[in-house]
A and B are shown apart, each in its own frame.
Chain A
Amino acid sequence: MLKQFKKVGLSQWKNKQLITITHRLLTSQSNNEDYDVIIAGGGLVGGAMACALGKSRYLEKKKILMLEGRTKMEEIDLKNPPLNYDCRVCAISPGNVEFLKDINSWDNVTRKCSVNRMQVWDACSDVVTHFNKHNMSESLCWIVENNLLQASLNQTIDNELSNNVSVKYNSTLTDCFIPNNYARSDTRTPLPPATVTLSDGTILRTKLLIAADGGNSFISRCLNMNKLKWNYDQHAVVATLNFHEPCDNFVAWQRFLPSGPIALLPLSNTSSSLVWSTSRDHAEELKNISTEDFVNQINNAFWKEHPRDKSVEMLQEMTQSCLNLFISDESSISSLQYPPSISGVQGGVFSFPLGFSHSDEYVRPRLAFIGDAIHRIHPLAGQGLNLGMRDVKSLLDVVETSLYNGMDIGSLQSLLRYESDRQRGNLPMLTAVDGIKKLYSTDKLPAVVLRTVGSIIFNKLDPIKERFMKEAVI
């Protein structure tokens, strides 16, 4: 037994170096189409995922590929951004700003505006809610144009991460295969890699496929994944607006009209971005009318008084005086301020449809979804991109932990931790925003009463307000 061992086992053990080198040579020459991670979708969330994985020290020797269906966007010189603002903007919470700083994509973005205060009020009652931190100079969130953030992420990938991250543009997926963990025929073989097929016939294999391909995700449809979804009968109208006169612009305004909320997000001292969620017909009308009519409609939407129910006013006073008995708080009396008046529109007016969706499954063996592919939310709370960024952070953490624990990067055991973590984070926000949207989309008396009383209590009780703000800024 010993002699046999010496002949066979010991020589194998001592020659392992030769075996290792040969094996490595063979695998590197034979196929260029094996990757460690493929990210399907190069938008804001997909780009952030590529940057985060590329910068991670645990993935420094791994091959990462980002697939984007569109052509490469035109180079934008971030130090001299184009004069016209992009009409699609996003609100980024402080927690996500820190994350973008970690992936070296925040400081490049030279044009961004801090929101230090928010005013939210209802057309059907007098209740006004203000959000701000104790120190008024601290920001609640930052407003950044989508194209500038995208350019920043692309530049980080091109300039700093070209060692391990590569990008393929104009690549649409035509098919994908994900191995089935539980019903596999032979558990003695390792879990096969996931494969995607591109429109030019190339087949790419990967250990982990991250699907960041948006609300109409191809991968989700290809795998027949169940989603809970419905369309809001609303379109969001977006445009960049100019003011009559420059002012200190650090406030975000949102008024809930019965047809939908209208919001002004600050961009600079002279302009703000409009996001008006309204019915499909009204959205078409807004896109086609003259600039003067458009501006008038916006100003009216913010300034015009709507018919009030006497009972609502009475109830409002009663609730306020009731609460004043228990909690005496001078700052609770919120005064209504008006946003600066609009004088004109910069660039065009666009619209996009709104809907809600939430996917049943976030992960499968060798597959993880991030961003809009698993959740679509109404823009009234500005959380769409924030939820996507938190998905990126959580998946990065799970991938790094499983690599540092020696696990297979695409094993379902580790990906399920990402699913639990993000379901816990996404579901409350999705339910709350959907609830608020439904509550405020009518002017029927019971709903108005409920939301008036609710808002007054919310305003009075600072702990609840702080908790709510804490959730929104991580």
Chain B
Amino acid sequence: MLNISCHSCGRLLTTLSSVPKFYNLRKIHVFRPKFTRNLFCGNYNRHVSRSTIRFMTSQSNIEYEAEKFSKLAANWWDENGNMKALHSMNHVRVPFIRDGLISMGCGEPFTSKPLHGIKILEVGCGAGVLCEPLARLGASVLGIDASDHVLDVAKMHRDGDTELSDLQYIDADLEDIVGAGTLRFHAVVASEVVEHVEHKMKFINNCCSLLMPNGSLFLSTINRTQVSYLLAVLMAEEVLGVVPPGTHDWDMFVTTDEIKSYLNQGNCEIQKIVGMNYNPLNNKWTKCQNTNVNYILHAVKKDETNADTL
């Protein structure tokens, strides 16, 4: 089996059992106009020659995405505003992370501070919607985000609350934290971030490198399927207005297979993966078997020291 990855962003493009003689592969993947690609193409991994080519470098992509979210900063904490789906997603995300960490032996179940003494890094924390519940559960949380406007909002929201003394926000990139060299965490959380990152393999590798052995990585993102285009992009943005139009780019979504391959390269193994179902009528998220649209997963970094002795 031959894995063909894009030379620009590292995304897994296709897997071939054998390479035919005259098969000419262009090793940087490109985008077709959305309409034809998404509705009529069955195989999303195949790439062919085309007229329009779009390249995106990592820096400009981050700035573009950060600016998108900076505009929403002021109303981020309005639980009935643009971000209401993100707030209600906590109902699924926080128990998933809490129980996942407890199952790995980090934390005490059924106590008032179940995650006491656990160090968590949240990448792309936004205004702290997920950081605050984790800090209330006793964890030491560090939140980073590309947009400093949003981090200002996060700090303003944290400062009134006495329970959130163990919550820090830093205006830094993931590469800076990796570059510091010595920081390691019990858990890294990147919720609703991967679909906004261009170089996904590098991103996930960086996240994995910040984990302690047997540390946990929690990712929640959206799958790249026809159903997810219909529901997460068309319905959510245009029809129902659950999120502002332009929030999500369908081509940036990640399939479960792709993410599995990235995690394997980062030396992590998926412990649990569940789908999340959103009901726009009553703004509630529930867990489900089907990972075709939203999903959240818990991956654990393999303990290399033990592997050697075996």
Query: Is A16 a contact partner of B81 (Cβ separation < 8 A)?
Result: no
Q: Which of A1, A19, A61, A403 contacts B176 (CB 8 A)?
A: A1
Query: Is A24 a contact partner of B80 (Cβ separation < 8 A)?
Result: no
A residues lining the B interface (CB < 8 Å): 1-2, 5-6, 9-10, 12-13, 16, 19-20, 23-24, 27, 34, 57-62, 181-182, 187-190, 192, 403-408, 411-413
Q: Roughly how many angstroms separate A190 CA and B153 CA in the complex, as a whole number? A: 10
Q: Point out the residues of chain A lying under 8 angstroms from B173, CB to CB.
A: 1
Q: Roughly how many angstroms separate A68 CA and B90 CA in the complex, as a whole number? A: 37
Q: Point out the residues of chain B lying under 8 angstroms from A10, CB to CB.
A: 180
> Quick check: is B91 within 8 A (CB to CB) of the other chain?
yes
Whose C-beta in chain B lies nearest to the C-beta of A56? B112
- Known contacts A57-B111, A187-B74; decide if A23 and B165 are in contact (CB<8 Å): yes
Q: How far is the CB of A195 from chain B (nearest CB, A)?
A: 14
Which of B13-21, B61-69, B155-163 faces chain A?
A: B155-163
Query: Is B112 a contact partner of A403 (Cβ separation < 8 A)?
Result: yes
Query: Is A2 a contact partner of B75 (Cβ separation < 8 A)?
Result: no
- Interface positions of B from 97 to 143, Cβ below 8 Å from A: 98, 110-114, 127, 132-137, 140, 142
Q: Point out the residues of chain B lying under 8 angstroms from A181, CB to CB.
A: 79
Q: Point out the residues of chain A lying under 8 angstroms from B157, CB to CB.
A: 188-190
Query: Is B180 a contact partner of A405 (Cβ separation < 8 A)?
Result: no
Q: Point out the residues of chain A lying under 8 angstroms from B110, CB to CB.
A: 57, 404
Q: Which of B78, B161, B172 contacts A187 (CB 8 A)?
A: B78
Q: Roughly how many angstroms separate A61 CA and B16 CA in the complex, as a whole number? A: 59
Q: Point out the residues of chain B lying under 8 angstroms from A60, CB to CB.
A: 112
> What 1/0 flags go to B208-222 for Cβ under 8 Å of A?
000000000000000
Query: Is A13 a contact partner of B170 (Cβ separation < 8 A)?
Result: yes
Q: Roughly how many angstroms separate A187 CA and B72 CA in the complex, as a whole number? A: 12
Q: Which of A24, A404, A407 contacts B165 (CB 8 A)?
A: A24
> Quick check: is B168 within 8 A (CB to CB) of the other chain?
yes
Query: Is B112 a contact partner of A57 (Cβ separation < 8 A)?
Result: yes
Query: Is B172 a contact partner of A12 (Cβ separation < 8 A)?
Result: no
- Known contacts A13-B142, A57-B112, A413-B88; decide if A190 and B160 are in contact (CB<8 Å): yes
Q: Roughly how many angstroms separate A404 CA and B161 CA in the complex, as a whole number? A: 17
- Known contacts A12-B170, A16-B166, A182-B80; decide if A189 and B94 are in contact (CB<8 Å): no
Q: Point out the residues of chain B lying under 8 angstroms from A405, CB to CB.
A: 90-91, 94-95, 98, 133
Q: Roughly how many angstroms separate A4 CA and B153 CA in the complex, as a whole number? A: 22
Q: Point out the residues of chain B lying under 8 angstroms from A13, CB to CB.
A: 142, 168, 170, 183
Q: How far is the CB of A383 from chain B (nearest CB, A)?
A: 30
> Quick check: is B179 within 8 A (CB to CB) of the other chain?
yes
Q: How far is the CB of B200 from chain A (nearest CB, A)?
A: 22
Q: Roughly how many angstroms separate A285 CA and B159 CA in the complex, as a whole number? A: 64
Query: Is B94 a contact partner of A187 (Cβ separation < 8 A)?
Result: no
Query: Is B170 a contact partner of A406 (Cβ separation < 8 A)?
Result: no
Query: Is B165 a contact partner of A20 (Cβ separation < 8 A)?
Result: yes
Q: How far is the CB of B13 from chain A (nearest CB, A)?
A: 32
Instruction: List 9 A-B residue pairs with CB atoms under 8 Å apart, sorted by A's residue number.
Output: A10-B180, A12-B168, A16-B168, A187-B78, A192-B160, A404-B98, A405-B91, A408-B161, A412-B79
Q: Point out the residues of chain B lying under 8 angstroms from A61, CB to CB.
A: 112-113
Query: Main SS of the interface on chain A?
Result: helix
Query: Is A413 a contact partner of B162 (Cβ separation < 8 A)?
Result: no
Query: Is A2 a contact partner of B170 (Cβ separation < 8 A)?
Result: no
> Quick check: is B77 within 8 A (CB to CB) of the other chain?
yes
Q: Roughly how many angstroms separate A256 CA and B278 CA in the complex, as a whole number? A: 52
Q: Point out the residues of chain A lying under 8 angstroms from B183, CB to CB.
A: 13
Q: Which of B74, B162, B170 contacts A27 (CB 8 A)?
A: B162
Q: Roughly how many angstroms separate A406 CA and B132 CA in the complex, as a whole number? A: 7
Query: Is A187 a contact partner of B75 (Cβ separation < 8 A)?
Result: yes
Q: How far is the CB of A439 from chain B (nearest CB, A)?
A: 36
Q: Roughly how many angstroms separate A2 CA and B91 CA in the complex, as a whole number? A: 36
Query: Is A188 a contact partner of B94 (Cβ separation < 8 A)?
Result: no
Query: Is B90 a contact partner of A407 (Cβ separation < 8 A)?
Result: yes
Q: 3 closest A-B pairs (Cβ-Cβ)?
A: A406-B133, A406-B136, A9-B170
Whose C-beta in chain A lies nearest to the C-beta of B153? A188
Whose C-beta in chain B lies nearest to the C-beta of A10? B180
Q: Roughly how many angstroms separate A1 CA and B166 CA in the complex, as a whole number? A: 25
Whose C-beta in chain A lies nearest to the C-beta of B161? A190
> Quick check: is B87 within 8 A (CB to CB) of the other chain?
yes
Name 14 extra pairs, CB < 8 A, besides A61-B112, A404-B114: A5-B170, A10-B180, A24-B165, A187-B74, A188-B74, A188-B76, A189-B160, A190-B157, A190-B160, A405-B90, A405-B95, A406-B90, A406-B94, A413-B88
> What 1/0 flags go to B265-306 for Cβ under 8 Å of A?
000000000000000000000000000000000000000000
Q: How far is the CB of A61 from chain B (nearest CB, A)?
A: 6
Q: Point out the residues of chain B lying under 8 angstroms from A57, CB to CB.
A: 110-112
Whose C-beta in chain A lies nearest to the C-beta of B88? A413
Q: Roughly how many angstroms separate A19 CA and B164 CA in the complex, as a whole number? A: 12
Q: How far is the CB of A307 from chain B (nearest CB, A)?
A: 55
Q: How far is the CB of B25 from chain A (nearest CB, A)?
A: 37
Q: Point out the residues of chain A lying under 8 angstroms from B112, CB to CB.
A: 57-62, 403
Q: Point out the residues of chain A lying under 8 angstroms from B136, CB to CB.
A: 406-408
Q: Roughly how many angstroms separate A13 CA and B112 CA in the complex, as a whole number? A: 24
Q: Roughly how many angstroms separate A466 CA and B128 CA in the complex, as a whole number? A: 51
- Known contacts A12-B170, A16-B140, A403-B112; decide if A5 and B176 are in contact (CB<8 Å): yes
